[in-house]
């Protein structure tokens, strides 16, 4: 992929328009889970898209930090997608999604990206699982920093140290979501969320062995009420504060491809592409 490539998250509402218009994006990213069926329209669609443009497979449910481990069947399906569609990038999140309920042995899935404690034990779990996935896929993956609505008061590592060590121990790369940094800073009631997010990036850049393989850009809805959390809902154009953090991230990792995510209240394809062109035209 060319340095600083720009792509869009391709969602169902845009499938037909994308295939009809063949816009000149460098790549598209799809949620891997939407294409895991044995057959059907989704898989046929992905085949057609892949014939036009490189793809990135972004997972939302591996639960890389799950203490119970990775779902072997899910991993098998992901490996099948990787083999079939030869994606440029494969990624998921630094979160957990799988755990048994108290008193039960059956593991349930959260269908949400639940936060990890930043400590040695959690790091060991995440590293073990990332190792397993990479070994199975026979390729490195990218792990995305989370927008987290809970923090644990017994953390012993900073998030950047945690992610830096994950990279060094497992050989994975990072998918840097700059919107998540801004959302986290807002929810931490930071006086200057942009400064806090940029300092986070500076700390990450000091971690040796970190490879940022992709940058996610998205918008978030403004705080809905005093004291309410800002939700990372990908429902807006990229916020001005997020663009500022993006520009700072580019100073550290100018080669990393950028991707526009928009999942709720979607604009038409042209509206989404306009965001991608903004990313492409930034210095």
Partner 1 sequence: MSERERARQQDLMATIRGPAQPDEAPGLKAYRGHIRVVAGQVLRHTYPTVTAMVGEEAMAALGWRLWQDQGPTVGDLNEWGHGLSALLAEKVATSNDWHAWPCLIDVAHLDWACHQCERALDAPPELDTLALLGEADPDQLNIVLRPGVQCLQAHWPLWALWKAHQKDASPDALHALAHRLQQPLPHPEWLVVWRAPEGHLTAAGAVISPWVAQVAPLPASMAAWMSALCSSAQGAGTEHPRPTLAQLLDTQPADFDFSAWLTLALQQGWLWRIRNRGGGSRSA
For partner 1, the closer of residues 43 and 195 by Cβ is 43
| In the complex, minimum distance from the CB of residue 81 to partner 1, in angstroms, rounded to a whole number | 11
For partner 1, the closer of residues 3 and 51 by Cβ is 51
DSSP assigned state of 207: S
| In the complex, minimum distance from the CB of residue 270 to partner 1, in angstroms, rounded to a whole number | 26
| In the complex, minimum distance from the CB of residue 150 to partner 1, in angstroms, rounded to a whole number | 4
Rounded distance, CA 112 to CA 125, Å?
Answer: 18
Contact 27, 88 (CB under 8 A): yes
For partner 1, the closer of residues 111 and 206 by Cβ is 111
Rounded distance, CA 8 to CA 260, Å?
Answer: 5
| In the complex, minimum distance from the CB of residue 99 to partner 1, in angstroms, rounded to a whole number | 4
Ramachandran quadrant class, 234 (left: phi over 0; alpha: psi -120 to 50; beta: rest): left
For partner 1, the closer of residues 111 and 274 by Cβ is 111
Contact 118, 155 (CB under 8 A): yes
| In the complex, minimum distance from the CB of residue 2 to partner 1, in angstroms, rounded to a whole number | 32
For partner 1, the closer of residues 205 and 266 by Cβ is 266
3-class secondary structure, 151: coil
Interface positions with partner 1 (CB under 8 A): 33-34, 36-41, 43-44, 59-63, 66-68, 71, 73-74, 77, 96-97, 99-102, 106-112, 114, 117, 119, 121-122, 124-125, 128, 148-150, 152, 227-229, 231
Give the CA distances from residue 174 to residues 192, 209, 212, 228, in Å, rounded to whole numbers and listed in that order: 25, 11, 5, 29
């Amino acid at each position: 992929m060319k340095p600083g490539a720009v792509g869009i998250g391709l969602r169902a509402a845009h499938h037909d328009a994308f295939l009809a218009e063949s816009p000149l994006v460098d790549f598209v990213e799809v949620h891997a889970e939407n294409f895991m069926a044995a057959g059907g329209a989704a898989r046929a669609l992905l085949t057609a898209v892949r014939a036009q443009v490189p793809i990135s497979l972004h997972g939302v449910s591996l639960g890389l930090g799950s203490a119970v481990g990775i779902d072997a069947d899910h991993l098998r399906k992901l490996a099948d997608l990787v083999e079939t569609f030869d994606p440029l990038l494969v990624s998921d999140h630094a979160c957990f999604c799988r755990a048994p309920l108290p008193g039960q042995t059956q593991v349930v899935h959260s269908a949400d990206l639940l936060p990890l404690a930043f400590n040695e034990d959690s790091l060991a779990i995440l590293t073990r699982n990332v190792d397993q996935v990479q070994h199975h896929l026979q390729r490195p993956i990218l792990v995305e920093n989370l927008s987290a609505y809970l923090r644990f008061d017994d953390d012993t590592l900073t998030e950047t140290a945690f992610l830096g060590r994950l990279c060094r121990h497992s050989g994975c790369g990072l998918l840097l979501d700059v919107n998540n940094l801004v959302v986290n800073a807002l929810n931490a009631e930071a006086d200057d969320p942009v400064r806090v997010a940029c300092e986070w990036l500076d700390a990450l850049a000091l971690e040796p062995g970190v490879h940022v393989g992709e940058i996610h850009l998205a918008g978030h809805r403004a705080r809905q009420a005093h004291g309410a959390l800002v939700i990372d809902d990908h429902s807006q154009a990229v916020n001005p504060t997020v663009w500022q953090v993006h520009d700072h991230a580019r100073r550290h990792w100018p080669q990393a491809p950028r991707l526009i995510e928009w999942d709720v209240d979607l604009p038409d394809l042209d509206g989404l592409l306009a965001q991608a062109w903004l990313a492409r035209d930034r210095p």
